[in-house]
């Protein structure tokens, strides 16, 4: 469960990136987060993953008030959250297997357990046959799937994705979203930040829309008009 109550985020220098943002994502829910560039999407994801702190308001993750989480508990809290990035942040000089194993090595799992879990994670993203490849031997969509395997390898109950389909064509984008749907169908909460209004319109999930730090819309996007951007004929927020 993710819950924001009246959250403000002001960055150093005084820029107000989120304004009185309140919403809740239930366990096992899947939703999109959209809005123009600079609207505050990444800031919102960073607050959930404890990479930034709110300036005021409260955030609860799985009933835990993040304001009460001490600095030593942060790694423990982060284990509950899988993060996926647009540029997938893979280590290019390590194999696919090693990239996916990384979170488990950091947590001190045994070699046997690491092998078992990495095999399972790579199977889920249909890359079981690429374990020994290096990332630059893979297509963009495959690299993104390695990033997804790494995010889910320790089975977090929450998955956050920041523009996971940004560099992919519509067919590959849909494949990535279908993977998220598979995780969601086994109870994982999924929040996907994207500019891609066409994708949102096709998928018909609850969509949170930010504009200049304000949450201006929260609900199912009906038809092709998430808000005025679509009405103007735009297919992406830029």
Binder of ligand ATP out of 37, 63, 110, 232 (CB under 6 A): 37
Does 14 engage in binding with ligand ATP (CB under 6 A)?
Answer: no
Per CB under 6 A, does 35 bind ligand ATP? yes
Q: Which stretch binds ligand ATP (CB under 6 A): 10-18, 22-30, 72-80, 126-134?
A: 10-18
Strand order in the sheet with 189-193: 81-85, 158-162, 189-193, 30-34, 206-211, 214-220
Give yes or no for residue 42 binding ligand ATP (CB under 6 A): yes
Q: CA 100, 104, 107: angle at the middle one, nearest 5?
A: 150
Told to check if 117 binds ligand ATP by CB under 6 A, we report: no
51 makes contact with ligand ATP (CB under 6 A):
no
CB nearer ligand ATP, residue 88 or residue 124? 88
Nearest to 74 by CA among 86, 61, 84: 61
Which string of x and - marks every residue 122-151 that binds ligand ATP (by CB under 6 A)?
------------------------------
Residue 214 tokens, joined:
């304000």
Torsion sign over Cα 150, 118, 105, 157: positive
Q: How many residues bind ligand ATP (CB under 6 A)?
A: 13
In the bound complex, what is the minimum distance in angstroms from residue 44's beta carbon to ligand ATP? 7
Structure tokens at 41: 């999407």
- Exactly one of 2, 7, 31, 40 binds ligand ATP (CB under 6 A); that residue is 40
Is residue 201 within 8 Å of residue 234, measured between CB atoms? no
Helix (H, G, I), strand (E, B) or coil at 228: helix
Least separation in angstroms between CB 5 and ligand ATP: 19
d(CA 130, CA 99): 12
Q: Which is nearer to ligand ATP, 35 or 54 (CB)?
A: 35
The single residue listed with the structure tokens 């319109």 is 201
How many Å apart are CA 33 and CA 119, to the nearest integer?
Answer: 31
> Does 207 help bind ligand ATP (rule: CB under 6 A)?
no
Options 38-46, 87-95, 104-112, 139-147: segment touching ligand ATP (CB under 6 A): 38-46
Cα distance between residue 213 and residue 44, in whole Å: 9
Residues that bind ligand ATP (CB under 6 A): 11-13, 15, 17, 35, 37-43
């Amino acid at each position: 469960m993710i819950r924001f109550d009246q959250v403000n985020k002001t960055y150093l220098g005084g820029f107000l990136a989120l304004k009185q943002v309140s919403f809740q994502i239930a366990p096992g829910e899947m939703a999109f987060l959209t809005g123009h560039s600079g609207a505050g999407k990444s800031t919102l994801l960073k607050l959930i993953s404890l990479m930034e702190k709110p300036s005021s308001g409260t955030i609860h993750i799985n009933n835990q008030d993040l304001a009460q989480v001490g600095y030593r508990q942060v790694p423990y809290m982060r284990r509950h959250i899988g993060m996926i990035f647009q540029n997938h942040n893979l280590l290019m000089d390590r194999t696919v297997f090693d990239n996916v194993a990384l979170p488990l090595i950091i947590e001190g799992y045994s070699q046997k357990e690491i092998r078992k879990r990495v095999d399972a994670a790579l199977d889920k993203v249909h890359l079981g046959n690429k374990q020994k490849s290096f990332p630059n031997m893979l297509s963009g969509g495959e690299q993104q799937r390695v990033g997804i395997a790494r995010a889910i390898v320790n089975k977090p109950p929450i998955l956050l994705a920041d523009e996971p389909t940004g560099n992919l064509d519509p067919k590959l984008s849909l494949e990535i979203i279908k993977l998220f749907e598979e995780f969601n169908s086994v109870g994982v909460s999924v929040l996907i930040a994207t500019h891609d209004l066409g994708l949102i319109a096709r998928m018909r999930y609850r969509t949170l829309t930010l504009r200049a730090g304000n949450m201006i819309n929260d609900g199912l996007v009906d038809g092709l008009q998430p808000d005025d951007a679509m009405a103007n004929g735009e297919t992406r927020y830029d």
